[in-house]
Structure 1
Amino acid sequence: MDFLGNILVPIRWVIEAILVGWHWVFTHLGMSQDSGLAWILSIAGVVVIVRLAIFPLFVRQIKSQRKMMEIAPEMRKVQDKYRGKRDQLSREAMARETQALYKKHGTSPLSSCLPLLIQTPIFLSLYWTLNDVRTWAAADSPGRNSWLFTSDLVHQFNDASLFGIAPLHMTLVQHFQQTPVSVSAIVLLIILVAAMIATQFFTQLQIVSKNLSPEAKTGQAYQMQRVMMYIIPFAMIFSGVFFPLGVVSYWFFNNLWTMGQQFYIIRENPTPGSEAWKAREARVAKRGKAINKEGKVVSREEYEREQEELLRLAEIERQNKAKRVQPKSAKRAKKAPQQKPQQNGQQGGSAPEADGSKA
């Protein structure tokens, strides 16, 4: 095991405990101990436990992504303000204004990455565990760094195959390298990798197509997200080829969970002004109710009272602003330039009259 694998040992113990625990449950329900389906369902159980644990972070991620899209127009103003200015003071001022904007709206780019950052060591821990199982099985010894994977469990997992044709510890590349080549195993792995990519793409498509306001769709962040929507699935093709079937299964179940979870959040708590928001308003209106400013479903009467209260507060604010406009003082009024009135006889016929008097 390399340096990074040693650092992840505590996390690996937790993941292995969940994996072995689920495997015990499924085998006591009647499944065979070396059944590929029992181990695949155990991996799905790991996804369930992990995603339930980080669910609050996922909600925060959705809200952060929404706010980042909403403040995109303000971010463009800050960027345009300092465009072309490369001196140190301008860069520091731009950074301060950017951070102030994040603080004002209660978001940051890091908030939208928290679930991914937390899941990365979990994903790597599962990868190293499944990779080591094959080594332990070949050496006919239990896990050197695991007190849960006994020798029996190591051989049970190493012998497990999905539908009896695709071993869980083997990658797609290894299937091409072995002799004879198992065409059915390769087809099964390709289907699973394709499903993994499709769920990832559809998850991003939900946000881009349904949960963004018209203002957010004009920002640079929106264009970047559309590009990433195609780049990430493309990159997953290469990773899916080199990951064991067990790890690909974890990724697929994780994407499936994310897709369903996000579908529910977008449906019940969409971004104001987005297509999902309009669809929710239409569904609520059919029930004779409305959505208040906090996004909660209320009765039509309560909604109308809230709107009247908002109008009353807006009128009070307008009147207060009008009172704060102070009139000019008497001294300032005296200093103001005044136009002198024209005197009769100074223009037009005044000159002829003067000439006539002299005559």
Structure 2
Amino acid sequence: MDDGPGSAWCLSLVGLVVVIRLCLLPLFLRQMRAMRRTQALQPELARIRRRYTGRSDPRSREAMQRETMALYQRQGVLPLAAFLPTLVQGPVLCALCGTLQSLPGIAAGGADALGGIDRVAAAAIEASHCGPARLSDVFLAPTGGLGAQAMALVAIAAMCATMMAQQWLLLHRNTPREAMVGPQFRMQRVTALTMPLIYIVSGVHLPFGVLLYWMTNNLCNFGQAMAQLRLFPAPGSLAGERKAARDHARENMRRVAAGMPSLEEEQAERASCAAQTRRARERRHRPASRRRTRR
């Protein structure tokens, strides 16, 4: 693409998200497995919490914490592993926000260059735009007028919608049915609905470039949630039941292609063999019991 201002700088932010997500792919796979194991433990965690309901003394709280950590250790679950990719991306997001906010000073010659971003590059980034919005535009102080504000609102709305959809999917389709009751689940549901408010409060103060990065990252998170529901669902959840049904149908198709009986036919055959074995055992023991009765 041509040098200078244009859409290339906007696409570079999208590319930055893609590169970071690819680098963090092993961590995300580990996160999916950790979340799956954590979701599978929700019924046992709920039983521990019920056992200490109404007991708020320090000794009871310490005992509940001790039992919870012992359960995590037995199952090999690290509760913080699910937040590791988010923590890794935090410095990148902060650095991006600081860079975009320092661009006006660099472009005006009042601040030192940031690595390869000198005065010429800073001016090009400053003038780059995505539609009517420039990368450095802020909703509360737009230089592009109402069009830039509308683009910022679209980005904030997309961020909120994707996060709410992701949280709803994980709560209602990837939570074991036994854990979808009680105050803990209600608290998680309220938190999932109120978390997008952070985007609204912070989004109006951030440069549009940060909103573009954040929106792309949320879209990747939504895709990750869909992959998790399909590949690594929690046992006992709605997504887990659907995956079990898909695996069952796939195994039956494989058996039919190989000329083997289906799973249902094999199970029926096992049940028939077990019934025949049981009847044969009963016939062998019946005469002896009759002889003892006559004596």
Give the aligned partner of residue 159 of structure 1.
127
Of 50-59 and 152-161, the range deviating more from structure 2 = 50-59
Q: Please, which of 200, 223, 230 is the counterpart of residue 237 of structure 1? A: 200
Q: 8 Å contact 1:65–1:112 — kept in the other structure?
A: yes
Evaluate the alpha carbon distance shift between residue 156 and residue 114 of structure 1 in structure 2; reply closer, same or farther with a 3 A threshold.
same
What pairs with 1:1-359 in structure 2 (closer than 5 Å)? 30-35=1-6, 37-139=7-109, 141-143=111-113, 146-163=114-131, 165-175=132-142, 182-218=145-181, 220-289=183-252
Cα drift, residue 169 of structure 1: 0.8
Evaluate the alpha carbon distance shift between residue 52 and residue 167 of structure 1 in structure 2; reply closer, same or farther with a 3 A threshold.
same
Evaluate the alpha carbon distance shift between residue 281 and residue 101 of structure 1 in structure 2; reply closer, same or farther with a 3 A threshold.
closer
List per-residue Cα deviations over 1:156-176 (Å, max 9, x = no partner).
11111222x21111210112x
- Distance (Å, rounded) in 2 between the aligned partners of 1:240 and 1:220: 31
Cα drift, residue 119 of structure 1: 1.4
Q: 8 Å contact 1:162–1:168 — kept in the other structure?
A: yes
Q: 8 Å contact 2:36–2:232 — kept in the other structure?
A: no
List per-residue Cα deviations over 1:257-278 (Å, max 9, x = no partner).
1111221231123222322233
Evaluate the alpha carbon distance shift between residue 212 and residue 73 of structure 1 in structure 2; reply closer, same or farther with a 3 A threshold.
closer
Higher RCO, 1 vs 2 (CA within 8 Å, ≥6 residues apart): 2
Evaluate the alpha carbon distance shift between residue 275 and residue 248 of structure 1 in structure 2; reply closer, same or farther with a 3 A threshold.
same
Aligned-pair identity in percent equals 33
RMSD: 3.1
Q: 8 Å contact 2:173–2:237 — kept in the other structure?
A: yes
TM-score, normalised by the number of residues in structure 1: 0.66
Gaps of 5+ in 2: 272-295
- Distance (Å, rounded) in 2 between the aligned partners of 1:238 and 1:90: 39
List per-residue Cα deviations over 1:49-72 (Å, max 9, x = no partner).
111122222223333333333323
- Distance (Å, rounded) in 1 between the aligned partners of 2:184 and 2:81: 15
- Distance (Å, rounded) in 2 between the aligned partners of 1:194 and 1:110: 29
Give the aligned partner of residue 331 of structure 1.
none
Aligned residues: 266
- Distance (Å, rounded) in 2 between the aligned partners of 1:88 and 1:225: 24
Evaluate the alpha carbon distance shift between residue 281 and residue 78 of structure 1 in structure 2; reply closer, same or farther with a 3 A threshold.
closer
Cα drift, residue 290 of structure 1: 8.3
Q: 8 Å contact 1:284–1:290 — kept in the other structure?
A: no
Of 202-211 and 218-227, the range deviating more from structure 2 = 218-227
SS at match of 1:260: helix
Cα drift, residue 83 of structure 1: 4.1
- Distance (Å, rounded) in 2 between the aligned partners of 1:277 and 1:147: 48
Evaluate the alpha carbon distance shift between residue 151 and residue 108 of structure 1 in structure 2; reply closer, same or farther with a 3 A threshold.
same
Q: 8 Å contact 2:108–2:119 — kept in the other structure?
A: no
Evaluate the alpha carbon distance shift between residue 104 and residue 219 of structure 1 in structure 2; reply closer, same or farther with a 3 A threshold.
farther
Q: 8 Å contact 2:48–2:64 — kept in the other structure?
A: yes
SS at match of 1:248: helix
- Distance (Å, rounded) in 1 between the aligned partners of 2:208 and 2:129: 9
Q: 8 Å contact 1:70–1:216 — kept in the other structure?
A: no
Evaluate the alpha carbon distance shift between residue 61 and residue 301 of structure 1 in structure 2; reply closer, same or farther with a 3 A threshold.
farther
Cα drift, residue 93 of structure 1: 2.7
Q: Which is higher, the Rg of structure 1 or of structure 2?
A: 1
- Distance (Å, rounded) in 1 between the aligned partners of 2:58 and 2:196: 39
SS at match of 2:204: helix
SS at match of 2:233: coil
Q: 8 Å contact 1:142–1:154 — kept in the other structure?
A: no
Evaluate the alpha carbon distance shift between residue 303 and residue 148 of structure 1 in structure 2; reply closer, same or farther with a 3 A threshold.
farther
- Distance (Å, rounded) in 1 between the aligned partners of 2:231 and 2:48: 33
Evaluate the alpha carbon distance shift between residue 104 and residue 121 of structure 1 in structure 2; reply closer, same or farther with a 3 A threshold.
same
TM-score, normalised by the number of residues in structure 2: 0.78
